[in-house]
Amino acid sequence: MMPISIVALLSGLGLVRLPYEMLLLAQRAPILFPLHMVASAGALALLAPAIWLRHRPHLHRALGRAVGVFVVVGGLTAIPVAVLSASGVWARAGFFVQGLVWLMLLGMGWRAILEKRRADHARLMLAMAAVTTGAVWFRLMIGTALYLKLPFEPAYAIAAWVGWLFPLCAVLLTASRLGPAASRPGSVRQPPSPVPS
């Protein structure tokens, strides 16, 4: 019999340890789930280098495009994977909305750079990066909940929302404190007025 999926196979070999819920999902979506996992991991892995190399346009653009492809694949597969999940309705809704927000922020950031609104592009891409880190925060929250022996279903549902909403809100609040974008269409940065002598 063919293996259910790469993820289930790796789990069966002991190379990847999956929670029971994720093993069920690997069985329900044998192509979509591993594709989502690989694409999302690719986006997560390339985010930091893309941000660090923002002052090297050639490398930044190449990495940014690669991140964009991974986000499109990860986001588009996140939506059906959320629907097929055996999780409760609130957890599935959290994953579903995260996929939509992830794609929306990528699209808005891409449009901003096409319109030469670099400050908006940077803010939107940082917001998209924050949503991407939701995968890490989610797992940390679930691990903590399991360690503390908290009720699993409510903890899972809360983590499915808070894992990406908290970092997103943190980035958006930080960006709002930096002031309005100076790169809105049609806006021109005015030079400082000369000081009278």
Q: What digits encode the pLDDT tens for the residues 103-130?
A: 999 999 999 999 999 999 999 999 999 9
- How high is the pLDDT of residue 180? 55
| Predicted structure pTM score | 0.78
Q: What angle do CA 147, 86, 96 make, to 5 degrees?
A: 95
Specify the pLDDT at position 87: 86
Q: Is the pLDDT of residue 176 over 90?
A: no
Angle ∠(6,130,147) on CA atoms, nearest 5: 65
Mean pLDDT of 18-34: 78
Answer whether residue 21 shows pLDDT above 80.
no
Q: In sequence order, which residues have a C-beta less than 8 Å from that of residue 193 and are 6 or more positions away?
A: none
Residue range 165-193: average pLDDT? 66
